[in-house]
Every structure is written in structure tokens, then in C-alpha cells.
Amino acid sequence: MGDNALMSDVLELADVSVLREGRALVDQVSWSVKEGERWVILGPNGAGKTTLLNVASSYLFPSKGTVAILGEQLGKVDVFELRPRIGVAGIAIAEKLPRRQTVLQTVLTAAYGMTAGWHESYDAIDEQRARAFLDRLGMNDYLDRRFGTLSEGERKRTLIARALMSDPELLLLDEPAAGLDLGGREDLVRRLGRLASDPAAPSMIMVTHHVEEIAPGFTHVLMIRQGKVLAAGPLEIELTSRNLSRCFGLPLVVEQSGDRWTARGLPMA
Ligand SMILES: Nc1ncnc2c1ncn2[C@@H]1O[C@H](COP(=O)(O)OP(=O)(O)OP(=O)(O)O)[C@@H](O)[C@H]1O
Ligand SMILES: [Mg+2]
């Protein structure tokens, strides 16, 4: 970390827009993530959450505005040097991974920034790390299973282990709990909670549709609707019934019980 205050910024978006076919998918978003913060992005289908994550992972260059990731400004930095510092787990990546590769290989190849390939030359150290991450995600019994045969939940946990493999400074998770059953969700939330509460873990940004999926240890929320920021700040302040109702466009009541959140619609009058 340097003297410059900007250096402690994990992510700094200033007036960022992503325009496609005359439409703003992301609309003048200014947002800053500081070291140690764990953010949740909430918003309805089509709000621009995944598009925003693609910007944050340096895979999408915005039409307008400036983006700094881990202190490096997009457009000025070699993204191939930046990308290994960012761990991404989302559906788009799962689709690119070879289905016949084993779970262990799937995680191990991330160390080399590859989506395929198996070499004799993998370090014993790397293999140890891959096994440790898979263990942490509860995937110990699946090391030799082919990636393509995994259930939704097993696949998600493998992807998170894979994203951690490059020892990223920033971890981006796009709907990690989507498609999981109740037990699977609770298990993942618990594991993400442990990760979020670990001071040595990377900065985290997680996209979700459900406040029930916000793990303990997450600190901030960004709410977006139609590409625009509706609210951004600490969960305790911004995750209110009023904000959530505006975000999803219907009357909602949000409650915090212990270190978890719930939301439900108001009964019809
Ligand atoms: N390349 C593109 N060209 C035109 N429109 C696009 C393109 N990519 C995405 N969109 C549109 O941009 C909007 C935002 O998409 P995005 O995937 O970011 O939404 P999201 O908030 O992640 O939604 P979901 O909750 O369904 O995953 C959607 O209406 C989508 O159809
Ligand atoms: Mg999405």
C-alpha cells in the first residue's frame, strides 16, 4: 500500500456507463470498494449486475467513465497482468471449462490461467493448495470426479475453490447460491461467511437476488435497478425495506435476525 489514498481502493468506478444498442446497461455508476470491505450487489433480473461484474473483472471496457481495479486504471494497465489478481466465479466461466476434466484439475489449471490442460509439471505446492481450497469448500470427496458430472451446488463450490487458486486480491462471485437447495444454500452461506470473516481472504463482491444469501461478514450493499445505483453503503444503513422495495419495484419488508437477513412481500391490501 502506498501513501496515495487511492492505493487502498480495491475498486473505483467514476461515472461508468456501458452502452449497447443505444441503451445504458450500466448507467453512470460511481462506486468505490475499499480494502477489507465485502460487498453484495442486489438488483432484479436485467439490472446490469453481471455487466458490472464484467467491468470489475476487467473483461468489459466501459463506454464511458473511468475504472480503477486494485489501483490500476483500465486502459492504462495490461489486463493480462491484472487478471490473475482477480478471482471470478460465475456461470460464464463454468461454461468454458472442460466437462471431462476432474475437479482437482479444474481447480489446479486456474493457477496457470488456463481453462484446459494437464501437465506433469504442476508443482506439488500447487496441488496442495488446490486440495486445501477444495477441502475448505467441502469438495474433498469429489477430487477425481469429472467437472461435467457435478450437481449445481458441487459445481459452484468447485468454481469458488478455482477462483481462490490464483490467490486473488479481489474475488467476484456471480450468484454463487443460485440453483442450490436449502441445505446447499445454507452450507454455502456458512462457507462464504467464514471466508468473508477471514482478514486474510481477498476483498469480495457477490451478486445475488436474495438477501437470505448474504453471509455474515459481508459489510456493504450496492443496489442497482436499470443500470443505475439506487443505494450504496453499509448493510446496516442501506439494506432497508424502503430501498429494497424501490430496487425490486414492489413493497417488501426486510428484516435482520442475528447476522442474517430475510425479505418478503407485503400482503395485498
Ligand atoms: N451485449 C449485449 N447487448 C445488448 N444487451 C445486452 C448485452 N449484454 C447484456 N445485455 C442486456 O443488459 C441488461 C443487463 O444484463 P446483465 O446480465 O448485466 O443483468 P443482470 O443484472 O446480471 O441480470 P440477472 O439477474 O438476470 O443475471 C439485460 O437487459 C441484458 O439483456
Ligand atoms: Mg446476471
Residues with CB under 5 A from ligand 2 (ion): 49-50
Q: Tell me 97's DSSP state.
A: S
Residue nearest to atom 31 of ligand 1 (CA): 46
Just give the CATH number of 4-265: 3.40.50.300
Ligand 2 center to 165 CA (angstroms): 23
Residue nearest to atom 4 of ligand 1 (CA): 20
- Reported in sequence order, the residue ranges of 8-154 that DSSP labels E, i.e. its strands, are 9-20, 23-34, 38-42, 64-69, 72-73, 86-89
Structure confidence at residue 113 (pLDDT): 58
Q: In the chain, which residues have pLDDT < 50?
A: 1-7, 116
Spatial separation of the C-alpha atoms in residues 235 and 219, rounded to whole Å? 6
Q: DSSP 3-state assignment of 1?
A: coil
Ligand 1 center to 51 CA (angstroms): 6
Ligand 1 center to 2 CA (angstroms): 36
Ligand 1 center to 25 CA (angstroms): 7
Of 18, 29, 51, the one to substitute when testing ligand 1's pocket (max ligand atoms within 8 A of C-beta) is 51
CA-to-CA dists, residue 255 to 61, 206, 210, 212, angstroms: 37, 20, 12, 10
Of 25, 26, 205, the one to substitute when testing ligand 1's pocket (max ligand atoms within 8 A of C-beta) is 25
Residue nearest to atom 10 of ligand 1 (CA): 25
Ligand 1 center to 19 CA (angstroms): 11
* Predicted confidence (pLDDT) per residue in 70-91, tens digit: 999 999 999 999 999 999 998 8
